Structure 1
Amino acid sequence: MHQTLSFKEIIARSPKVFIIGVAGDSGSGKTTFTNAIRQIFGPDMVVTITLDDYHKFDREERHRLNITPLHPDANNLTQLESDVTRLKEGKAIEKPVYNHASGTFDSPVPFPSKKIIILEGLHTLFTPTLRSLVDFSVFVDPDPEVKYEWKRQRDLEQRGYSSADVDDELIHRETDYEAYVKPQRCMADAVIQVKYSKYGKNLGTVKNIYSISLLQNPMDQTIRDIALSIDLMSLLSFHESNFCIEFSDAKIECAFLRALTFDGEMNYDTVRKLEISIEQQTGLHPISMFENRKTVNATDIIQLILSWRIINRRIFLQENYVRS
């Protein structure tokens, strides 16, 4: 009797390596928005490369040369292109390792190729070669005020910077961000914008509540639709938190896009229906990222919707691969 393979099993058996590129400034929350993919497919199938490992100079050398990590010349993009090409072919690499705690380089480590590879960094979409290797791309674009708050907190608490060092770097790097990192917004399949919540700026620090927008062009490769169901009776009777959903035009320097925005908190039951919809269409079971939580925030919801976009692209590529 023939047994139908699940989508996860199909990916595991496929020779194709699927690469997700996530670009954005340092400290912009790039890792957060691909967490759903990591959780859905698991560590056996998903591996992440942080492009900071491809810095050309250590922290002391950058200070001496007066160059920021955002400048392409401060990064070994040629080696990055070569390594990603090998990984896409299913081959292992010796990956460099940048140690953020010390600001120096550790010894390279063996790094295997897996079926889904996530590239996260400042220059993920910077070169034509890197863009050609990426199957789905995202640019994470928080408002400057939000980004500076996140970066300050991370660098002070996790990377041993002094407050004066953080202030100096924020000022020093802005020109390079505008010149080399921000233009990659125009090359991404989706742009995620993050702003302080309309319900209170302090909610970001206290409860991780922000206004999150997913910007994109209309999809031309939709395999299946999903539904975001809202139980109005439950919403009107029992919902205790403020939230809003908005769909609107959004303009960046290169295009008019459509923006789906969430702000505040929603009942978990609403998102659970979205999880079930993705489960039914992909055969991936179970998807329960926010189990045992009463509410979910805008970041959680965008993670899940973005994961559907990525899975949808992978299904499209698989069906094309089979037909060819």
Structure 2
Amino acid sequence: MPRVPPFKEIIARSPLVFVIGVAGDSGSGKTTFTNAIRQIFGPDLVATITLDDYHKYDREERKRLDITPLHPDANNLAQLEMDVARLKEGYAITKPVYNHESGTFDPPVPFVSKKIIILEGLHTFFTPRLRELIDFSVFVDPDREIKYAWKRQRDTKKRGYSPAEVAEEIERREKDYEEFIAPQRCLADAVIRISASWYGKEKGQTENIYRISLLQHRMSRVIADADLTIDLNSLLLFHDRDFSIEFSTEAVACERMRALTFDGEMNYETVRKLEKSIEQQTGVHPIAIFENRKTIAATDLVQLILSWRIIHRRIFLQDRS
């Protein structure tokens, strides 16, 4: 029989450029949930664009104009649309660069198209044209208290803001978030909801343990031999951590979606079969996302399942080409 190349090799040979869009508020954890895709396929195939680079004004100009980055008028979305369209056609672009430490713009840089482009930002699928260009969309939606705790920590430690500046920015942003950012939840293929763990609110800050829901629409097509096994034998016999799994139907802004919710920690071996299934589909051996880890948290598990869902979408695009 002729050799069937692994899916990673198929992607590398394919002319298709697959665009993943991740939207959500600043500091909401957008990068976290696509880390698995970056690790599975590697930097040769995956490139990431942070939409903050498409801010229209620097920090001082925004203060003078009394406009927040969450307002679409503060961003060059038309340029973003053109750049994503060119990348999707396989062309390189010259990308702007926003420097968060100085709050100003650095010189633009060359940016080469890859087979998988990840867009992360506030307005990722805000316009109809961006939605046309994106093949799979995710909205990351942490509870308000959690989101702003993350933002305070990031902006004071990594972006040079004072605590007073962060508090003022949070207050100024709230109206624009509700008007311009939150409605994108209705446009997403998947919504990731993050709330405090039922096993202790403090576990988020001390152990990075949260209650994570992956909300999706019913899948119209499935891969017949896809194995999404969680090893219940391992869970029942060897598990010594608190962990819960729940399936429900929940309201998300304008509609209802199916929610798969995880909380707590699992022993790594419990989900090893799920990891092997993704290895088999992608041809990437081994997937080292959880290498040398004895336990994984709900955040880790949702990363893995979301990656499978994205790969699933990419496989069907390949079948249509």
TM-score scaled by length of structure 2: 0.98
Superposed displacement of residue 5, structure 1:
1.4
Which residue matches 1:193?
193
Q: Is the Cα contact below 8 Å between 1:272 and 1:288 reproduced in 2?
A: no
Q: Is the Cα contact below 8 Å between 2:7 and 2:281 reproduced in 1?
A: no
Letter matched to residue 4 of structure 1: V
Superposed displacement of residue 241, structure 1:
1.2
Cα distance in 2 between the residues matched to 1:158 and 1:228: 39
* Post-superposition CA distance 1:204-238 (Å, at most 9, x none): 11111000000011111322432222233x33343
Which residue matches 2:78?
78
Letter matched to residue 67 of structure 1: I
Letter matched to residue 199 of structure 1: Y
| Residue 293 (structure 1) aligned with residue 299 (structure 2) | no
Letter matched to residue 143 of structure 1: D
Cα distance in 2 between the residues matched to 1:216 and 1:235: 25
Superposed displacement of residue 2, structure 1:
4.0
Which residue matches 1:229?
230
Paired residue total: 320
Q: How does 1:197-212 map to 2 (within 5 A)?
A: 197-212=197-212
Q: How does 1:252-291 map to 2 (within 5 A)?
A: 252-291=252-291
Cα distance in 2 between the residues matched to 1:2 and 1:247: 41
Cα distance in 1 between the residues matched to 2:285 and 2:76: 40
Which residue matches 1:45?
45
Cα distance in 1 between the residues matched to 2:230 and 2:315: 23
Structure 1 runs of 4+ aligned residues shifted over 4 Å read none
Cα distance in 1 between the residues matched to 2:222 and 2:143: 30
Letter matched to residue 248 of structure 2: S
Which residue matches 1:184?
184
Q: Is the Cα contact below 8 Å between 1:275 and 1:288 reproduced in 2?
A: no
* Superposition CA RMSD, Å: 1.1
Partner of 1:67, secondary structure, is: coil
Partner of 1:161, secondary structure, is: coil
Q: Is the Cα contact below 8 Å between 1:20 and 1:117 reproduced in 2?
A: yes
Structure 1 unaligned regions, length at least 5: none
Q: Is the Cα contact below 8 Å between 2:49 and 2:120 reproduced in 1?
A: yes
Partner of 2:124, secondary structure, is: coil
Structure 2 unaligned regions, length at least 5: none
Q: Is the Cα contact below 8 Å between 1:221 and 1:313 reproduced in 2?
A: no
Q: Is the Cα contact below 8 Å between 1:19 and 1:119 reproduced in 2?
A: yes
Q: How does 1:71-220 map to 2 (within 5 A)?
A: 71-220=71-220
Cα distance in 2 between the residues matched to 1:161 and 1:59: 11
